[in-house]
Amino acid sequence: MPRLVMKFGGTSVANLDRIRRVAKRVGVEVAKGYEVIVVVSAMSGKTNELVGWVNETSPLFDAREYDAVVSSGENVTAGLLALILQENGVDARSWQGWQVPVKTSSAHSTARILDIPTANFDAKFAEGMKVAVVAGFQGVSAEGRITTLGRGGSDTTAVAFAAAHQAERCDIYTDVDGVYTTDPRITSKARKLDRIAFEEMLELASLGAKVLQTRSVELAMRYKVRLRVLSSFEDMGDDAGTLVCAEEDIMESNVVAGVAFVRDEAKMTLISVADRPGVSAAIFGPLAEAGVNVDMIVQNIAEDGRTDMTFSLPVDQVARAEKAVREAMAREEINFHDLIADTDVSKVSVVGIGMRSHAGVAARMFGALSAEGINIKVITTSEIKISVLIDRKYMELAVQALHDVFGLEKA
């Protein structure tokens, strides 16, 4: 029998009524003849509550016990859904990560999935089990300790199960009915996409789109797992939602698929850095060790043996970044005349696989921003994206202007 993976996020299982609604959706797929693997998150807000308890109990907590505590939310959801399915006459069992087992690395709270053996599920499905309800976000290390995959890890769990079991599809149920050309809260012209390529979705996810977790899209692209993003709160047909698939499964793409944004960015510039071999490593090494997520990097042309180095980062990491580079300067690893941080910028990006074969995308993008009087502070490009840093007060205007200039409201 074909297998289907269904993943339900925290808002989809926020209370018993919603879990009952999930059970009905699962029952529909069982009736179609699927062996179903359901991956569930903790009830909405529960993980934050558990994390708060850990921090209150032990600010310098043992990471192994942190994972033991915060993974418990998914166990509750999995057990409740299995019980409701049984009450509905569906042979279902709940599975925690260690029971599957979901084998992971030993990096507690940021573990990576190494392997998901299928033997246990194969045997249970052969015995008549119809639904396996899996606690997402968790696994087990080689040492036998519970591990967690980091925030959004249930998406990654679902895709990994779909890859391991060669599932026909992986359906991700959330509180939106698909992937949009941009955030509908920014512009009412935002349009739901019927299909989007893995590469486009990966770029949009990494650039601020919140629909799918980046690691899950990376995994889906690597193993060619067809993803479908659906709403838990609307009754929809088999062709509903947005299918995330290989580029060759899309007849023809628009030049630009979507506009993404990150509202709370910062721009940091080191003024008059010595221009010598190894200076970039001397700057970005300490930043990496401090856990600073550097994104866009621009180096000015050196004239007198010195140069300016500019990079973007999340605004809440500015203090950490300043401390790291000043400590590196004190150790005489780097030398600069001044450090300037602009904490009032946003990043706006256009993404599309059609950019590979169409010229003039940058010109249209920059022209649209210029027409609105929006100054560009930093530009970076790749084969299928162009990103700019702009003043935060112009972010929504920029998104609307770019959505219009590329005609994204049109199918």
Say if residue 174 carries a ligand binding annotation.
Answer: yes
180 is in an annotated binding site: yes
CA distance linking residue 387 with residue 292, whole number of Å = 19
Q: Which of 80, 47, 45 is nearest to 66 (CA)?
A: 47
In the block, tokens 């991700």 appear at 172
Are the CB atoms for 133 and 94 separated by under 8 Å?
yes
In order of 9, 180, 199, 212, the CA distances from 248 in angstroms are 29, 20, 12, 21
Tokens 């010195």 locate to 306
Q: What residue type is 233 in one-letter code?
A: F
pLDDT, one tens digit per residue, over 80-112 is: 999 999 999 999 999 999 999 999 999 999 999
At residue 235, the pLDDT reads 67
10 among annotated binding-site residues: yes
The residue range of the domain holding 159 is 3-175
Residue 140 within any structural domain of the chain? yes
The pLDDT > 70 percentage for the chain reads 97
Residue 332: per-residue pLDDT = 82
Final residue before a domain boundary, out of 175, 191, 222 = 175
Same domain, 138 and 8: yes
One-letter amino acid of 375: N
The reply to whether 91 sits in an annotated binding site is: no
DSSP assignment of 70-125 equals HTHHHHHHHHHHHHHHHHTT--EEEE-GGGTT-EE-S-TTS--EEE---HHHHHHH
Condensed to tens digits (0 to 9), the pLDDT of residues 65-83 reads 999 999 999 999 999 999 9
Q: What is the pLDDT of residue 137?
A: 95
- Is residue 288 in a domain? yes
| pLDDT-based confidence at residue 349 (cuts at 50, 70, 90) | very high
Q: Is 47 annotated as a binding residue?
A: yes
Do residues 193 and 257 make contact, with C-beta atoms less than 8 angstroms apart?
A: yes
Q: Angle of helix 214-223 relative to helix 153-164, nearest 10 degrees?
A: 10
Q: Which token pair is 275? A: 């221009």
Phi first, then psi, for residue 230 (nearest 5°) are: -135, 165
Asked if residue 333 is part of any domain, the answer here is: yes
Rounded Cα distance, 368 and 99, in Å:
54
- Does the annotation flag 74 for ligand binding? yes
168 and 267 together in one domain: no
CATH code of 315's domain:
3.30.2130.10
Residues 265 and 166 in one domain: no
- Show which of 175, 200, 220 is a domain's final residue: 175
- State phi, psi for 283 to the nearest 5 degrees: -85, -50
Q: Would you put residue 112 in left (φ > 0), alpha (ψ -120 to 50) or beta?
A: beta
Question: 7 labelled as ligand-binding?
Answer: yes
Tokens read off for 362: 């940058």
Rounded Cα gap, residues 41 and 76, in angstroms: 9
In a domain, 26, yes or no: yes
Asked if the structure places residue 116 within a domain, the reply is yes
Same domain as 165, residue 17: yes
Cα dihedral sign, 277-280-282-283 = positive
Across all residues in the chain, what is the average pLDDT? Answer: 92
CA–CA gap between residue 146 and residue 41 (Å, rounded): 16
How far apart CA 144 and CA 18 sit, in angstroms, is 33
- Give the Cβ contact number of residue 337 at 10 Å: 10
Contact 336, 282 (CB under 8 A): no
Unique residue bearing structure tokens 């202007």: 401
Ligand-binding site membership of 385 (annotated): no
pLDDT in tens, 260-319: 999 999 999 999 988 888 889 999 999 999 989 999 999 887 667 788 999 999 999 999
pLDDT digits (tens, 9 = 90+) for 146-167: 999 988 899 999 999 999 999 9
Q: How many domains does the chain have?
A: 2
394 contact partners, CB below 8 Å, separation of at least 6? 346, 372, 374
- pLDDT digits 0-9 by tens, 309-329: 999 999 999 999 999 999 988
CATH number, residue 47: 3.40.1160.10
Q: 21-35, 64-78, 157-171, 233-247: lowest mean pLDDT where?
A: 233-247
Q: For the sheet containing 169-174, what is the strand order?
A: 92-95, 131-135, 35-40, 3-8, 169-174, 227-231, 242-245, 195-197
163 and 295, same structural domain?
no
Q: Are residues 46 and 161 in the same domain?
A: yes
Predicted confidence band at 236 (pLDDT cuts at 50, 70, 90)?
low
User: Quick one: 143 and 288 in the same domain?
Assistant: no
pLDDT tier for residue 246 given thresholds of 50, 70 and 90 = confident
397: helix, coil or strand?
helix
Whether residue 147 lies inside any domain: the answer is: yes
146 & 265 share domain: no
Write down which residue in 144, 175, 206 finishes a domain: 175
- Asked whether residue 217 is assigned to any structural domain, the reply reads no
Is residue 252 very low, low, confident or very high in pLDDT (cuts 50, 70, 90)?
A: low
Residue 331 annotated as binding site: no
Q: Read off the tokens for 371.
A: 């027409």
> In terms of Cα–Cα distance, which of 5, 72, 76, 69 is closest to 34?
5
Could you tell me if 286 and 163 lie in one domain?
no
Identify whether 80 is part of a domain: yes
Q: Is 185 annotated as a binding residue?
A: yes
- State whether 156 and 281 are in the same domain: no
